Amino acid sequence: MTPTGTIMATNWRTKLITEMDREGKVVKQFTSPELQQPTCICVNSQSDTIIADNTAEHLFIFDNTGR
């Protein structure tokens, strides 16, 4: 759960990151051309989204706007 009470999920096939409210309604979505196989996701206390990518062998950090 994020600091704002939403939930983040990643789809490794579509490379789409989705933020949902507690009822499951999509708040926002984003992706990046650098993502290859995003499998793990977390959000820190500053609302940065951190994504582990197995194929790219990197951690990606996005701000709350998806950059």
Q: What is the pLDDT of residues 17-67, one digit of tens each?
A: 999 999 999 999 999 999 999 999 999 988 899 999 999 999 999 998 888
pTM: 0.85
Parallel/antiparallel/unpaired status of strands 58-62 and 16-20: unpaired
Contacts of 51 (CB under 8 A, 6+ apart): 10, 17, 35, 38, 40, 41, 59, 60, 61, 62
- Judged on CB neighbours under 10 Å (0-12, 13-18, 19+), 13 is exposed
